[in-house]
Amino acid sequence: MKHAIHILLFSFLFLVSCSKDDNEPASPHSKIKIAEAVTASGISVSLLADQNDLSVAYNKIYVGLKNKAGAEIKNATVTYTPIMDMHTMQHSSPVEQPAYSSTTELYEGAVVFSMPSGDMGSWQLKVTVNNEPVTFDVSIKQAAANTKYTATFKGSDDQSYTVSLIQPAAPKIGMNDLELLISKRQDMMNFPPEEGLTVEFSPEMPSMGHGSPNNVAPIHTGRGHYTGKVNFTMTGDWRLHLKLMKGSTVIVEDASLDLMF
Ligand SMILES: [Cu+2]
């Protein structure tokens, strides 16, 4: 019996050591590297994402930093500035500045890209590491047909509100966590989180003209994030109807987002 356990243990260790790549140290994360650059002082900056493509949506974006000797830099100040150059004007978009995670050994932040790259203009993401900027050209894909993961609405208070879907990222039949980021346009370069809204919520399946029961309206949980629950009773096209209110004043009657699964 003891012998059998030893053999089992030995083969397990053997498997583990065989699966290790000798050239690359094991990565503590499963993100996809989409670009790389080096700052003026020689810090190498890797840009990573959850998917190969950035798209018109709330995109988690990660940065890994290494010094000239190849050692991880864990205590830098990193900021993101998305810029869209539309020939006659420039604008930015909502952004969540990155913070270092010791779990993934990456700086983790997010950018809402509000339009696709194309004839209308092109996007750059400026990443500043301790006041040293590097600029990445990023290509932003249009969201898939019949989906709308982010949209901007003019409020009854004359302000512009951008509503972006964070969760569900992988919708399923049944109850799903619902998480939104709501940002307000202060000017073309600044889109701070909007923290003071009350949201009424009802999902609809437009192709079949029905909704679903037991949804939970999203409430503010910090930094412009609103969390609730959405019940998808079947697969297909779903529209999330969101009514944005400030106290009893309706700011946006129907800020709707679309998803499809
Ligand atoms: Cu634009």
Residues 128 and 190 in one domain: no
Backbone angles phi, psi at 11, to 5 degrees: -70, -30
Residues 125 and 184 in one domain: no
Domain containing 82 equals 24-141
CA 68 – ligand 1 centroid, Å: 36
211: DSSP letter = -
Residues 154 and 136 in one domain: no
State how far the Cα of 53 lies from the Cα of 43, in Å rounded to an integer.
25
CA 89 – ligand 1 centroid, Å: 9
CA angle 164, 167, 173 (to 5 degrees): 130
Question: Domain boundary residue among 115, 141, 167?
Answer: 141
Question: Domain boundary residue among 141, 164, 185?
Answer: 141
CA 135 – ligand 1 centroid, Å: 17
Is 201 contained in some domain? yes
Is 12 contained in some domain? no
CA 175 – ligand 1 centroid, Å: 35
Query: In CATH, what number is assigned to the domain containing residue 113?
Result: 2.60.40.10
Q: How many domains are contained in the chain?
A: 2
Q: Tell me the pLDDT of the chain (261 aa) as tens digits.
A: 445 545 444 454 444 444 444 455 567 888 999 999 999 999 999 999 999 999 999 999 999 999 999 999 999 999 999 999 999 999 999 999 999 999 999 999 999 999 999 999 999 999 999 999 999 999 999 999 999 999 999 999 999 999 999 999 999 999 999 999 999 999 999 999 999 999 999 999 999 999 999 999 999 999 999 999 999 999 999 999 999 999 999 999 999 999 999
CA 143 – ligand 1 centroid, Å: 15
CA 121 – ligand 1 centroid, Å: 6
CA 240 – ligand 1 centroid, Å: 24
Residues 255 and 170 in one domain: yes
CA 83 – ligand 1 centroid, Å: 9
Residues 78 and 109 in one domain: yes
Is 14 contained in some domain? no
Residues 46 and 116 in one domain: yes
Residues 128 and 46 in one domain: yes
CA 113 – ligand 1 centroid, Å: 9
Residues 137 and 175 in one domain: no
DSSP SS3 for 9: helix
State how far the Cα of 182 lies from the Cα of 48, in Å rounded to an integer.
24
How large is the ipTM? 0.84
Instruction: Write the CB contacts of 259 (distance below 8 Å, at least 6 apart in sequence).
Output: 147, 148, 149, 165, 168, 171, 237, 238, 240
Question: Domain boundary residue among 90, 115, 141?
Answer: 141
